[in-house]
């Protein structure tokens, strides 16, 4: 593969994703607000942009992997935003977990300037990004999706096309994350109940994760919660709360009650109040233990 691409956002996920593009033979220009985070990529041959806008070239492709709607919008809109920089024929490949509404808004904004917005959020933790094993969901204009497909193939193991609505991929991403955090809450409550009843939590997890719940999601979070291995965070509590709040917002917009999301939101807020913002979002299990009166070592 011989192409140039910009990449903005080098956090826990963005860094290995950008590295995968370098390994695939692309010329990658990177930008991150904390400049030092780009150093591992510069060693591998990446170029450093002086600003987010400079990571984009006229008619080119720029990937964004940023924290939230506000960050994405601020990068995109305005005289010095990505849409203006890309211009006619350019593609903005947004891989962040953001709301469907911001994707639709930015897609329209790009279209007015001759560029195209494609949503392609990902499923997978940093270790899966490092192994190029992400699952990617994509939506947007067919021609633009075809053009970015080599990038997606370099970063992920499988891509699922949700059609032309630029917000569709974001809906699926939020639904998926909602189901994941609901599973984490169920594991947390179940293990707290077992432990308070005198059972060994590791034995309970071993039985369930090898039989009734023998799938990677449950196996991974059983292991994390049993060991209480919430640091370093694969996905921080603060970001998890943001995603749950996006689920609640989507539920309100579509008139779909999501009572589990409300409960998990409160669980995350309680953990943030206890200073756990930087722990992995599976640390909501600590709240279940505290509610049960179980001493946390």
Residues 6 or more apart in contact with residue 63 via CB below 8 angstroms: 5, 6, 7, 8, 17, 18, 21, 93, 94, 95, 151
Torsion angle (degrees, nearest 10) of CA 37, 39, 41, 44: -170
- The rounded distance, in Å, linking the Cα atoms of 180 and 186 is 10
Contact 184, 176 (CB under 8 A): no
Alpha-carbon distances, residue 158 vs 132, 149, 152, 171 (angstroms): 10, 11, 8, 18
Contact 78, 84 (CB under 8 A): yes
Contact 81, 53 (CB under 8 A): yes
173 labelled catalytic: yes
For residue 95, give the DSSP letter: -
Burial of 215 (0-12, 13-18, 19+ CB in 10 A): exposed
What distance separates the 2 farthest-apart alpha carbons in the chain?
Answer: 65
Catalytic choice (105, 145, 173, 236): 173
- The rounded distance, in Å, linking the Cα atoms of 77 and 118 is 15
- State the DSSP string of 100-159: HHHHHHHHHHHHTTT-EEEE--EE--HHHHHTT-EEEEEBS-HHHHHHHHHHHHHHEEEE
Q: Could you tell me whether strands 122-123 and 134-138 are parallel, antiparallel, or unpaired per DSSP bridges?
A: antiparallel
The residues annotated with a catalytic role in the active site are: 173
């Amino acid at each position: 593969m011989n192409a140039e691409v910009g990449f903005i956002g080098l956090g826990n996920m963005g860094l290995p994703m950008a590295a995968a593009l370098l390994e695939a033979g692309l010329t990658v220009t990177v930008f991150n607000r904390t400049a030092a985070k780009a150093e591992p990529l510069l060693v591998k041959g990446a170029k450093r942009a002086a600003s987010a806008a400079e990571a984009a070239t006229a008619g080119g492709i720029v990937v964004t992997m940023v924290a939230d709607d506000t960050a994405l919008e601020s990068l995109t809109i305005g005289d010095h935003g990505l849409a203006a920089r890309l211009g006619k024929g350019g593609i903005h490949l947004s891989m962040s977990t953001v709301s469907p509404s911001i994707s639709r808004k930015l897609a329209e904004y790009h279209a007015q300037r001759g560029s195209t917005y494609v949503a392609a959020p990902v499923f997978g933790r940093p270790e899966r990004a490092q192994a190029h094993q992400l699952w990617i969901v994509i939506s947007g204009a067919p021609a633009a999706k075809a053009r970015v497909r080599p990038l997606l193939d370099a970063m992920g193991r499988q891509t699922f096309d949700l059609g032309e609505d630029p917000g569709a991929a974001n809906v699926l991403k939020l639904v998926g994350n909602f189901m994941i955090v609901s599973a984490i809450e169920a594991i947390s409550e179940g293990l707290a109940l077992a432990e308070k009843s005198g059972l060994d939590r590791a034995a309970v997890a071993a039985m369930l994760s090898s039989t009734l719940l023998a799938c990677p999601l449950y196996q991974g979070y059983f292991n994390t919660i049993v060991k209480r291995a919430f640091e370093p965070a694969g996905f921080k509590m603060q970001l998890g709360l943001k995603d749950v709040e996006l689920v609640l917002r989507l539920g309100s917009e579509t008139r779909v009650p999501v009572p589990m999301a409300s409960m998990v939101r409160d669980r995350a807020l309680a953990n943030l109040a206890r200073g756990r913002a930087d722990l992995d979002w599976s640390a909501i299990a600590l709240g279940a233990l505290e509610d049960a009166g179980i001493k946390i070592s």
